[in-house]
Amino acid sequence: MSASTMTSRADVSPASLAQRISAYDPQPRDAKTLGRARAAVITAFGRTLSGAPASITMALRAIPGIAMTGGSSLVFGTERRTGAVDAALINATAAVAGSGASPDAANGAFVVSLFGLCEERGKTGQEFIDALMAGADISRSLAPAASPSAGPLGPALLGSVAAAARLLELSRPKIAAALLMAGVANAGNPAVGQGGAGALMVGQCLSNGLLATLLAEAIDEASCHEMIGSEQRSAGDGLPEKEVFDLLAVRSPPGVDLWDQFDQHAGVVLPRDDVAPLFERLETIEKVKDLATVSRLLQGRGPRAAPKKVVFAPRGAHEPEETNWVP
């Protein structure tokens, strides 16, 4: 069944949500829908690059033990590659920090937090786009019932866990355990359009959602059943009629060209020669077979030390070395 046919029920336990996430059947995508998803990716990536130099983002990168090198997932605006969870923490924080006061800042964080997992698992651009659209569809349908008062962060967290769970092909018990461990029903409502504490809260929330999904993948189903067995709660009266959550609503300001906005944002940290090729690659992200070709263009060069000047001494002008050797 599609997201549009997922109706609300009084029982919205992790198990019932997991059943509907697992049963989600995506409908054929038209060119307009695909173009909208691509625009969301371009805007979110641009905002993340713009937020890479923010004080909160740079402080996260500087903390020992966070985003240690050796992984496959890129920290946007740098040459550092780390694990998917740490990349989600820093990139989602940067996405919010680079969004200014945009009310859809959490949506941009949702987009970039999933990219690192796709890199780590060797997914294609098409699989990345499909996961984003699936997470957005599922969240639009289920978020009001799962966390009706959570604001924009609740739907972003639910969509992130749902998308990651489908990418990892988790079973229903594992999806339910991931939802429970991520605290989908208890997501807070920070000022996601601001930097600092609000940005960090979004980054922590989405990286914890990804961590919960990876933990669910790693543990056995019997443990998942035991974990969720006693967890039941009521959803109240069901879905609000007027409130609609859309995680792909990462919009440009009215009258602003998508390329101009991306160029302005990405140019904060990327060399000029890389901005246009990155934009072109993101415009056809669904056709990319190896996401490393995208992430290589996301690497900021950063300040580089001036090369040391090499001075050659005139031949025969060096001082003789002392020695204790006696012929």
Q: Residue 301 — very low, low, confident or very high, per pLDDT cuts 50/70/90?
A: low
Query: Is 30 within the bounds of a domain?
Result: yes
| Domain total of the chain | 1
- Which CATH number goes with the domain that contains 147? 1.10.4100.10
Compute CA distances 62 → 55, 59, 143, whole Å. 10, 5, 35
pLDDT at 105 over 70: yes
Q: Which domain holds residue 47?
A: 3-298
Position 322 pLDDT exceeds 90: no
Residue 57 lies in a domain: yes
Residue 83 lies in a domain: yes
Distance CA 218, CA 60 (A): 27
Q: Is residue 286 part of a domain?
A: yes
Distance CA 155, CA 144 (A): 8
Residue 307 CB contacts under 8 Å (≥ 6 apart), including other chains: none
309 within a domain of the structure (yes/no): no
Q: Which of 275, 268, 210 is nearest to 42 (CA)?
A: 275
**Higher local confidence (pLDDT), 285 or 5:** 285
Q: Which of 51-65, 184-198, 311-325 has maximum average pLDDT?
A: 51-65
Whole-number Å distance between alpha carbons of 176 and 165: 10
pLDDT at 148 (0 to 100): 56
Give yes or no for residue 118 having a pLDDT over 70.
yes
Give the list of residues 6+ apart from residue 48 with CB closer than 8 angstroms, or none.
76, 77, 91, 94, 95, 98, 108, 112
According to the model, what pLDDT value does residue 226 have? 86
Examine residue 101 and state whether it is found in any structural domain, yes or no.
yes
pLDDT digits (tens, 9 = 90+) for 11-49: 568 888 999 999 999 888 899 999 999 999 999 999 999
Are 169 and 35 within 8 A, CB to CB?
no
Q: What is the mean pLDDT of residues 121-134?
A: 96
Residue 198's pLDDT is: 84
Mean pLDDT in residue range 135-149: 80
220 occurs within a structural domain: yes
